[in-house]
Chains A and B, each alone.
Chain A
Amino acid sequence: SQTIHQWPATLVQPVGSPLSLECTVEGTSNPNLYWYRQAAGRGLQLLFYSVGIGQISSEVPQNLSASRPQDRQFILSSKKLLLSDSGFYLCASTRLAGGLEQFFGPGTRLTVL
């Protein structure tokens, strides 16, 4: 069965500092991978998705970027964090064998101070 790992679970960073969040997936091959952000009082917002290694689509312009260096690894980065980057960051993956449901990792709660 598929497992999604995200780390760290919680992160507190100062404004202007860099960010790197990692997501890895086990138990599936060639999944679509997604980064979402859930801010207080708002719904889940899609940030990036990837259909393969090196292929990144951005849904919302911002100071974040994403990379997919390996089939089952998806990284979210920022060079300089803003206060508005605070939120709950979720990585999601489609299931193996063509299943289209997205399953979520445990998430990283980021607070920018």
Chain B
Amino acid sequence: EDKVVQSPLSLVVHEGDTVTLNCSYEVTNFRSLLWYKQEKKAPTFLFMLTSSGIEKKSGRLSSILDKKELFSILNITATQTGDSAVYLCAVEKGSGYALNFGKGTSLLVTP
């Protein structure tokens, strides 16, 4: 059975801290791994990773994939209160490009 497991489930940090969110997976016919940020409504796309060892970066956010060990991390440096959200990891499978989501990590950044 396909699995996507995110850890921790929730996290509370102070503004300015650096956080690392984890995503491990066991999925047949893997194509890519995606990260989304979900605030009150629909998830917004952050990154799509297909190759091992290549870091993707956008501002204070970065992510990397390890296809040998079957995991990915999402790093957020110098966190701000606006980073508070649920971060979702999803793995894309071969047929129809369906996404298998983890349960998410709920991040709260306090001032």
Instruction: Classify the secondary structure of A's interface with B.
Output: strand
The closest CB in chain A to the CB of B43 belongs to: A104
B68 at the interface (CB under 8 A from A): no
The stretch that binds B, out of A14-22, A40-48, A70-78, A79-87, is A40-48
Among B36, B41, B100, B104, the residue within 8 A (CB) of A106 is B41
Among A36, A90, A100, A106, the residue within 8 A (CB) of B48 is A100
Instruction: Classify the secondary structure of B's interface with A.
Output: strand
Q: List chain A residues, Cβ under 8 A from B44.
A: 104
- Chain A residues numbered 7-51 whose CB sits less than 8 Å from any CB in chain B: 32, 34, 36, 42-46, 49, 51
- Total contacting residues, chain A, CB less than 8 A: 23
The closest CB in chain A to the CB of B95 belongs to: A57
* B100 adjacent to A104 (CB under 8 Å): no
Q: List chain A residues, Cβ under 8 A from B104.
A: 43
B99 at the interface (CB under 8 A from A): yes
* A107 adjacent to B32 (CB under 8 Å): no
A residues engaging B (CB < 8 A)?
A: 32, 34, 36, 42-46, 49, 51, 57, 59, 90, 92, 94, 100-107
What are 25 A-B interface contacts by the 8 Å CB criterion?
Answer: A32-B96, A32-B97, A34-B98, A36-B101, A42-B103, A43-B88, A43-B101, A43-B103, A44-B90, A51-B96, A57-B96, A59-B98, A90-B42, A94-B97, A100-B32, A100-B48, A101-B45, A101-B48, A102-B34, A102-B45, A102-B97, A104-B42, A104-B43, A106-B42, A107-B42
